[in-house]
Amino acid sequence: MSANTLELKFYVHATPDEVMELLTNPEFIRDWSGQGAQIEKKKGGQFVMFDGWVRGNVLNVGENELSYTWKPSEWTAETPASVVRYRLEAADHGTTVHLEHSGFPNDEEKENYKTGWEEFFFGPIGEYLANRNL
């Protein structure tokens, strides 16, 4: 793992197919994030989340794999996009999501994402799933 790569694991109480939908279906993304999204589920397709705060292009969409470039609006035009990769693995009563986020412009940004993925992404997905099952 390179110095500017973050590797995290999250458990999601849903099947790998359901998790993939939560990561790629704009309606589900709006439901759990409260913000608009657009993802073209094909290589080279556009990726937009959080009402346009982050943009990129889909690099790969597989049965249990997804990757795309990730560039938040506050990064400068000269800053290259980072890359987010998800690998979904069936686990007891759910899915383990192996997340690799690489290509951060600096250590400070990498540190922000250590908590950001839980706070703004997988935490809200967990809350959405818990409330959906009530």
Contacts (Cβ under 8 Å, ≥6 apart) of 109? none
Helices 26-33 and 16-24: crossing angle in degrees, nearest 10, is: 80
3-class secondary structure, 9 = strand
Residue pair 53/36 in contact (Cβ under 8 Å)? The answer is no
Give the pair of three-digit tokens for residue 94. Answer: 């759910």
Summarised one tens digit per residue, pLDDT across range 24-44 is 999 999 999 999 999 999 999
Q: What is the pTM of this model?
A: 0.94
Instruction: Flag whether pLDDT at 78 surpasses 70.
Output: yes
For domain 5-132, give the fold: Alpha-D-Glucose-1,6-Bisphosphate; Chain A, domain 4 (3.30.530)
**CA dist., res. 97 & res. 43, Å (int):** 21
Summarised one tens digit per residue, pLDDT across range 53-70 is 999 999 999 999 999 999
Enter the DSSP assignment of 104.
Answer: -
3-class secondary structure, 92 = coil
Distances from the Cα of 40 to the Cα of 13, 16, 47, angstroms: 25, 19, 7
